[in-house]
Amino acid sequence: MSQANRKSRVDLYALVWRLPIILWQMLFFIGPLLFLIAMSFFLVKNYRMIETFDMANWNRILSKDYFWSSYWYTLGMASLATVLATVLAFPASYALAFKVSANTRRWAMFFLIVPFFTSYLVRTFSWYVILAKTGVVNALLAYIGLGPYTMLNTPIGTMVGFLTLVLPLLVLLQTLSLSQIDKNLIEAAHNLGSGRVRTIFNVIVPMAKVGLVVGALFCFILSFGDFVSPYYLGGSTPQTLSILIIDTSKAGQQWPRAAVVAICMMTTLFVIAFAAIAYAYRKPKS
């Protein structure tokens, strides 16, 4: 069998295996995405979409101050949630990966998955009881003479919601990533005189970089597009882009204008995702 024949057979074999995911992406991602882009140029008249090519929606949305203030607020909150969640999750992930027995790690992983058994909306509503002025946190603070503090319907409420959403997932991803590190390398670092903190930053973090970045990226994506926390815990003050999409589509059924906001969100996510992945896989300079 010639080399060329073998190559074409290998390609066909690979293609057959790749086909389901390609078809899936075409049907459920590329197709809707193209429709979304096309829809952003449609117009709405008498609550019906008119298929045309008009820049009016883009001009209108991009010229509005409220769009840009929502955009920067959403970007800022999602970035903050990513940093906070990454920093908060890392010690727990580190402990689960290196400091506990395999059995404890299995149980911990199980308990990290348990929150996903219940609806995110239900979990969000349960924060009402905890964060309200008459809630658990303020009741505890009252014992030491503090408060009451307003936490619901503020960016603090939104942030608590974001962390509720992403923290368990992030700990899982980080733990899986850290668990893959060859323990001999850590031991070698210690044997060569590297302290614990230095080992973490010079050995563990670089080796788990891909997993840590992917975890942070997931955190950003989920927070950036979340509607539930900013609406129910943040009280829409101020509103995020996902709330703006809801508002825009509700008022006069302006789905094309909502599509403009959605495309801006997706573009932002694409840019950040590509940058993050490029950074994660960048080879260190030798």
DSSP string across 115-181: GGGS-HHHHHHHHHHHHSTTSHHHHHHHHTT------TTSHHHHHHHHHHHHHHHHHHHHHHHHHTS
Question: Toward another protein, which CB reaches closer, 178 or 243?
Answer: 243
Q: How many residues does the chain have?
A: 286
Binding site for another protein (CB under 8 A): 46-48, 64-66, 69-70, 73, 125, 128, 132-135, 150, 152-153, 231-232, 234-239, 244, 247-248, 250-254
Rounded distance between C-alpha atoms, residue 227 and residue 216, angstroms: 19
Q: How far is the CB of 249 from another protein (least distance, A)?
A: 9
Report the candidate in 63, 70, 45 with the shortest Cα–Cα distance to residue 256: 45
Q: How far is the CB of 231 from another protein (least distance, A)?
A: 7
| Angle, helix 155-179 to helix 120-131, in steps of 10 degrees | 120
- Residue 48 forms beta bridges with which residues? 45
Question: Toward another protein, which CB reaches closer, 73 or 90?
Answer: 73
Question: Toward another protein, which CB reaches closer, 90 or 231?
Answer: 231
Rounded distance between C-alpha atoms, residue 101 and residue 38, angstroms: 54
Q: CB of 226 within 8 A of CB of 242?
A: yes
Q: How far is the CB of 77 from another protein (least distance, A)?
A: 14
Question: Toward another protein, which CB reaches closer, 220 or 232?
Answer: 232
End-to-end Cα spacing for the chain: 42
Q: How far is the CB of 136 from another protein (least distance, A)?
A: 12
Question: Toward another protein, which CB reaches closer, 94 or 120?
Answer: 120
Question: Toward another protein, which CB reaches closer, 105 or 123?
Answer: 123
246 CB-near residues (< 8 Å, 6+ apart): 227, 231
Q: How far is the CB of 116 from another protein (least distance, A)?
A: 22
Q: How far is the CB of 241 from another protein (least distance, A)?
A: 11
> What are the backbone dihedrals phi and psi of residue 173, each rounded to the nearest 5 degrees, phi first?
-65, -45
Q: How far is the CB of 197 from another protein (least distance, A)?
A: 43
User: Hey, is 45 helix, strand or coil?
Assistant: strand
Q: How far is the CB of 161 from another protein (least distance, A)?
A: 13
Q: CB of 127 within 8 A of CB of 160?
A: yes
Question: Toward another protein, which CB reaches closer, 61 or 85?
Answer: 61
Question: Toward another protein, which CB reaches closer, 131 or 217?
Answer: 131
